[in-house]
Chains A and B, each alone.
Chain A
């Protein structure tokens, strides 16, 4: 084994890649890691499915009641289990002594990349558990098209809030507090998603304002997360 004494192009001459390239690299890294760990696929989704299955056992198998409360219960499950998906990233990055920070990745790119990966995983979770909820609660298929708007909006919002809360908690060296930070912040997502779904059934025109509310939460979390990313990394 011999290390060459000189190599061309030392780092000082390397061109720092842009935010988008760094962000995509972080997202790909996180998704690849998750694919191999299988935590979401083999732990979070099955437990989410069990929660959706267990609710009828608790409140009784009355189809009209399930049909009425089902969407709300589904979004509660998404919110609570979705937090676990976002916490996963915080814990695993800390476990490797924050390599992202060591490599000098733009904190905003690290934030957006981690949130992108979490959003993808959350969409998978929502779809997988959603199919069970639709079948179990006898939800009218006519409502499905609205989910194409609501599902990604909730996933993005929850991912952005969860990633930001993870950074806050990392600074306080208290990652177990992340769920307590995320859940209150994510309540507008829960309210918006449930209301949008109901509006989609009863008054299709009314869904727009709830979807806009979800998007507003997404944009607010995006702006706040990007603006605070550097400060949160410094205190992390």
Chain B
């Protein structure tokens, strides 16, 4: 049996004095897509940040892509985890092409792959437009292009369908397929249960920081 991409055991996460996630167990196998649901403030984004090595467990053990979340090389892990969050992580002053090229340069990826990916998500005609002058949906697609270029082993998407027009919503599924086709995994967070269930291998729900 292949080693899991994610293995959390009894993990709790605190931010300041508040415990956001409580004694969480989660395992994600290669090729698996997890749909994560939960109401506002239940810890969905916190869980994604934990998996992206942006937070450290306060208790329990967590291993993501073979890296211990407490004592492992978290910088290296971040290179291999892709995350598209609530707010666009693009440099507003740079063009879409420059944003992609920067990501390619610092990760040692061929920038042409990124420019091809911009074309694949329907932004081929606006690569020289500054991110600040793109709509939220276009910025989101540019982030999808970046993840497509980097092809992370674990893809984390927070409300991936928000701001996408009808013609673009299929991109989410295509991006997830591209990552899982390479043996990676994905976690999709959304309130849109119907859409996410179609893309997921299984679903879990966070209630008050507890996983069900």
Question: A residues engaging B (CB < 8 A)?
Answer: 1-7, 9-12, 14-17, 21-22, 25-26, 29, 32-33, 36-37, 96-97, 99-107, 109, 230, 233-234
Q: Enumerate chain A residues within 8 angstroms of B56, measured Cβ to Cβ.
A: 234
Whole-angstrom distance between the alpha carbons of A97 and B139 in the complex? 15
Q: A11-B150, A99-B89, A99-B91 are in contact. Are A2 and B174 (CB under 8 A)?
A: yes
Q: Enumerate chain B residues within 8 angstroms of A104, measured Cβ to Cβ.
A: 75-80, 107
Q: A9-B110, A102-B78 are in contact. Are A36 and B93 (CB under 8 A)?
A: yes
Report yes or no: B177 in contact with A96, Cβ–Cβ below 8 A. Answer: no
Number of contacts between A and B (CB, 8 Å)? 120
Report yes or no: A29 in contact with B102, Cβ–Cβ below 8 A. Answer: yes
Whole-angstrom distance between the alpha carbons of A131 and B142 in the complex? 44
Q: Enumerate chain A residues within 8 angstroms of B98, measured Cβ to Cβ.
A: 29, 32
Picked from A2, A9, A99, the residue with its CB within 8 Å of the CB of B120 is A2
Q: A2-B174, A33-B94, A36-B93 are in contact. Are A234 and B74 (CB under 8 A)?
A: yes
Q: Enumerate chain B residues within 8 angstroms of A15, measured Cβ to Cβ.
A: 108
Of the listed residues B75, B110, B117, B153, the one surrounded by the most CB atoms of chain A closer than 10 A to its CB is: B75
Q: Which of B3-11, B32-40, B165-173 contacts its partner?
A: B165-173
The 6 closest A-B pairs by CB, nearest first: A104-B79, A3-B174, A104-B78, A1-B122, A36-B93, A10-B151
Q: Which residue of A lies closest to B74 (CB)?
A: A234
Picked from A4, A9, A37, A103, the residue with its CB within 8 Å of the CB of B79 is A103
Beyond A1-B168, A29-B98, A99-B90, 4 extra complex contacts between A and B, CB < 8 Å: A17-B107, A99-B89, A104-B76, A106-B75
Whole-angstrom distance between the alpha carbons of A15 and B109 in the complex? 8
Report yes or no: A7 in contact with B78, Cβ–Cβ below 8 A. Answer: no
Q: A11-B150, A33-B93 are in contact. Are A103 and B87 (CB under 8 A)?
A: no
Picked from B74, B102, B103, B175, the residue with its CB within 8 Å of the CB of A3 is B175
Report yes or no: B85 in contact with A97, Cβ–Cβ below 8 A. Answer: yes
Q: Enumerate chain A residues within 8 angstroms of B151, measured Cβ to Cβ.
A: 7, 10-11
Whole-angstrom distance between the alpha carbons of A12 and B94 in the complex? 27
Whether B121 is near chain A, meaning CB under 8 Å from some CB there, is yes
Q: How large, as a class, is the contact surface on chain B?
A: 35 or more
Q: A3-B174, A6-B182 are in contact. Are A230 and B75 (CB under 8 A)?
A: yes
Report yes or no: A37 in contact with B93, Cβ–Cβ below 8 A. Answer: yes
Picked from A5, A9, A106, the residue with its CB within 8 Å of the CB of B177 is A5
Q: Enumerate chain B residues within 8 angstroms of A109, measured Cβ to Cβ.
A: 106
Picked from A6, A10, A17, A97, the residue with its CB within 8 Å of the CB of B106 is A17
Report yes or no: B170 in contact with A10, Cβ–Cβ below 8 A. Answer: no
Report yes or no: B168 in contact with A12, Cβ–Cβ below 8 A. Answer: no
Mask: chain B, 64-88; 1 = CB below 8 Å from A; 0 = not: 0000000000111111100101011
Q: Enumerate chain A residues within 8 angstroms of B109, measured Cβ to Cβ.
A: 9, 11, 14
Q: A12-B80, A32-B94 are in contact. Are A6 and B102 (CB under 8 A)?
A: no
Whether B178 is near chain A, meaning CB under 8 Å from some CB there, is yes
Whole-angstrom distance between the alpha carbons of A104 and B103 in the complex? 10
Q: Which residue of A lies closest to B110 (CB)?
A: A9
State the Cβ distance, B24 to closest chain A Cβ, in Å: 21
